[in-house]
Structure 1
Amino acid sequence: MKKSDLKFIPDFFDRYIALVDDHTHLIDGLKHSETILESISEKLVQHQEYRYESNKWTPKELLQHIIDTERILAYRALCISRLEPKALLGFDENIYAKNAYANNRSIEDLLKEFRLVRQSTIPLFESFNEDMLHRVGISSEIRISPLAFGFTIIGHAKHHFNILEERYFTKR
């Protein structure tokens, strides 16, 4: 499935989905995000404790946020693909970040976790047929499909990789 196969793009998630090229195939996009992370891993090591402002996350915390969000969005896609009738709740990313203690972990450990989560996300989305990808459920009070969650996972990671490049890796 390609991004152009999305029947609608829900508000809030549109900012992430917009970062994904229209011709991008879902599985290829998921695999490409891992490649991007590999290309910046050395910079992550060099800047792992840096905050560009005192109230902003470190690269370790940002990476943990990407991991946590991918897990949550993949779970939501699974629920909707299986026709979960209940609305799925949102989450407070700042509470998750505060309680993950990512700064106590090594970048290598976080990169390993990212790879494992991504390696789990890819076959999950490969297992969905076209009908499952287009099913619609309610998550965080928004109507959304598993396909939209897949492209959100790609765009969300890309959004934060861009932030790392623009605000963390260019420090003076």
Structure 2
Amino acid sequence: MFQRPGKNEYLESQERYVSLVPAEGDLLTILKEQTAEMHSLLGGLTEEQGNYRYAPEKWSIKGVIGHLTDNDRIMSYRMLCFARGEQAPLPGYDENDYAAAGEFDRFTLKEMVEHYGIVRQSTLALMASFKEDAWTGRENSMTRK
């Protein structure tokens, strides 16, 4: 929980994301700060800006927030599975299919930001409940398929 995972602890396809995590620091603190930054960044946007797409078939800003929220939910579930020693394979997901099914533009920007905050608070509560060995146990490696 206090160090970035080693390269043997995640799939190579995740390198670009893992490399963005600070090498050291309390992950809960980092995620809390990230959440505050997101609220600060998004709180000043108008509804029109929330609907902005840089191209017709691309996600709106609300769609991006919806994707981040879905991803938090999915990764929280995966963390729970690893922490509890789940042996069943975990399903993947297609972020574009999820985003289309979520129809995030039907919500206001304020609602999307609230959804993100609620889900992140749930993620933080789950993470805070883990004992240290849930974070360091090799048998719960994130590379397990």
Taking structure 2 as the reference length, the TM-score comes to: 0.87
Post-superposition offset of 1:46: 4.8
Are the structure 2 counterparts of residues 86 and 137 from structure 1 closer, same or farther at C-alpha, using a change threshold of 3 Å?
A: farther
Query: 1:33 deviation in Å?
Result: 1.4
| Greater relative CO, 1 or 2 (CA 8 Å, sep 6+) | 1
Q: Show the counterpart of 2:3.
A: 3
Structure 1, residues 4-60: CA drift from partner, whole Å, max 9, x if none? Answer: 4x3444212221111122123110011011111112121364511111122210001
Instruction: Decide whether aligned partners of structure 1 residues 19 and 32 sit closer, same or farther in structure 2, where only a CA change above 3 A counts.
Output: same
Q: Distance in 2 between matches of 1:25 and 1:116?
A: 21
Match of 1:12 in 2: 13
Query: Does the C-alpha gap of structure 1 residues 45 and 34 become closer, same or farther in structure 2, counting only changes over 3 Å?
Result: farther
CA distance in structure 2 between the aligned counterparts of 1:44 and 1:128, rounded to whole angstroms: 38
1:126 aligns with 2:124: no
Report the 3-state secondary structure (helix = DSSP H, G, I; strand = E; otherwise coil) of the residue aligned with 1:34: helix
What corresponds to 1:25 in structure 2? 26
- Report the residue type matching 1:109 in the other structure: E
Residue pair 2:53, 2:59 contacting (<8 A) in 1 also: yes
Quick check: 2:134–2:140 contact (8 Å CA) kept in 1? no
Q: Where in structure 1 do 4 or more consecutive aligned residues deviate above 6 Å?
A: none
Within-5 A mapping of 1:1-172 = 1-4=1-4, 6-7=5-6, 8-10=8-10, 11-41=12-42, 42-43=44-45, 45-135=47-137, 136-137=139-140, 142-143=143-144
Matched positions, count: 141
Aligned partner of 1:84: which letter? E
TM superposition score normalised by structure 1: 0.75
| Structure 1: 5+ residue stretches without partners | 145-172
Give, in whole Å, the separation in 1 of the partners of 2:48 and 2:68.
Answer: 19
CA deviation vs aligned residue, 1:87-130 (integer Å, no higher than 9, x gap):
10100111110011100100111111111111111111111112
- Aligned residues with identical type, % of pairs: 30
Distance 2:9 2:86 in 1: 20
Q: Which amino acid aligns with 1:126?
A: A
131 and 70 in structure 1: CA distance in 2 versus 1, 3 angstrom threshold: same
Larger mean Cα displacement after TM superposition, 6-15 or 21-30 = 6-15
